[in-house]
């Protein structure tokens, strides 16, 4: 399986487009690569981006910060540590207005909720507002905890770019051709043509990302014992 380091991908982008480093500087190519990585991130739900973070909720605590680099929260769970066996509970996601009403707030955060129990709901709001802001938002709970609980946030994390991890990333190692084609789409768009090459690499990317999605969302999340093997329809000529 082909893999890419940053320097290898930069070299291929210049070779494929026949444009040298005076035009395609490292800074320019970095933008192409980061845009391509963002596109892949939006197109495919990748297992490698699934993370979790644990912590403790104390009595009356209504907020926690979302994990740094959190793109989307998949689920939130709390555990009663003082029960035997420990009670694990997944929270239901609601809008922040629902939680405000549930906790009888005048507005978010103005008072401490009077009704306390094991949290049942969560909501998200806020997030990064500036280029130097690394916060990922706030997670709110209702009802507020009546005692100490362990929480776990399961989330999709923003992956580190190949521009930063120059020796390789999950995408550059496991979806190198897709990263190349998506970067070439960016490159030929920057060059404003030729249109046939832009169309060609767009089609190549779409074909490869479909295969990658079958692997990530299909094969990696299925079990042959429970689900059976994946069956892919193969078109055959009409008799």
Q: Which residues have C-beta within 8 Å of that of residue 230, sequence separation ≥ 6? A: 214, 218, 219, 222
Half-sphere exposure at residue 164, Cβ-oriented, CA atoms within 13 angstroms: 7
More confident residue, 109 or 165: 165
Model confidence band, residue 193 (pLDDT cutoffs 50, 70, 90): confident
Q: What is the mean pLDDT of residues 76-103?
A: 85
- pLDDT, residue 232, reads 62
- pLDDT, residue 69, reads 85
- pLDDT, residue 136, reads 78
- By CB atoms closer than 10 A (0-12, 13-18, 19+), residue 129 is exposed
Count of positions (residues) in the chain:
239
Q: In this model, does residue 27 exceed pLDDT 70?
A: yes
Q: In this model, does residue 87 exceed pLDDT 50?
A: yes
- pLDDT, residue 225, reads 60
Model confidence band, residue 226 (pLDDT cutoffs 50, 70, 90): low
More confident residue, 104 or 78: 78
Model confidence band, residue 75 (pLDDT cutoffs 50, 70, 90): very high
Q: Which residues have C-beta within 8 Å of that of residue 178, sequence separation ≥ 6? A: 40, 171, 205, 208, 209, 212
Model confidence band, residue 4 (pLDDT cutoffs 50, 70, 90): very high
Model confidence band, residue 74 (pLDDT cutoffs 50, 70, 90): very high
What does the pLDDT look like over 119-167, one tens digit per residue? Answer: 999 998 887 554 444 557 889 999 989 888 999 999 998 899 999 999 9
Q: In this model, does residue 181 exceed pLDDT 80?
A: yes
Q: What is the mean pLDDT of residues 11-24?
A: 95
Q: What is the mean pLDDT of residues 102-122?
A: 67
- Measured between alpha carbons, how far is 230 from 127 in angstroms, rounded to an integer? 39
The whole model's pTM is what? 0.77
Residue with tokens 């802001």: 133
Mean pLDDT, the chain, integer: 85
- pLDDT, residue 128, reads 56
């Amino acid at each position: 399986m082909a893999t890419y380091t940053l320097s290898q991908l930069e070299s291929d982008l210049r070779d494929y487009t026949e444009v040298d480093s005076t035009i395609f500087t490292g800074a320019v190519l970095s933008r192409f690569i980061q845009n391509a990585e963002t596109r892949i991130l939006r197109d495919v739900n990748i297992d490698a981006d699934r993370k979790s973070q644990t912590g403790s909720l104390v009595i009356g605590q209504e907020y926690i910060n979302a994990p740094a680099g959190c793109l989307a929260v998949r689920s939130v769970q709390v555990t009663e540590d003082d029960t035997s066996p420990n009670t694990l509970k997944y929270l239901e996601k609601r809008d922040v207005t629902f939680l405000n009403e549930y906790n009888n707030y005048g507005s978010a955060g103005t008072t401490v909720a009077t009704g306390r129990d094991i949290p049942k709901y969560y909501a998200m709001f806020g997030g990064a507002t500036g280029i130097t802001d690394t916060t990922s938002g706030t997670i709110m709970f209702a009802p507020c905890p009546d005692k100490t609980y362990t929480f776990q946030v399961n989330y999709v994390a923003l992956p580190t770019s190949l521009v930063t991890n120059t020796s390789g990333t999950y995408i550059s190692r496991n979806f190198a051709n897709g990263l190349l084609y998506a970067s070439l789409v960016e490159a030929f768009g920057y060059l404003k043509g030729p249109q046939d090459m832009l169309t060609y690499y767009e089609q190549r990317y779409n074909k490869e990302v479909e295969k990658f999605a079958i692997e990530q969302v299909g094969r990696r999340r299925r079990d042959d014992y429970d689900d059976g093997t994946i069956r892919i329809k193969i078109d055959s000529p009409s008799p």
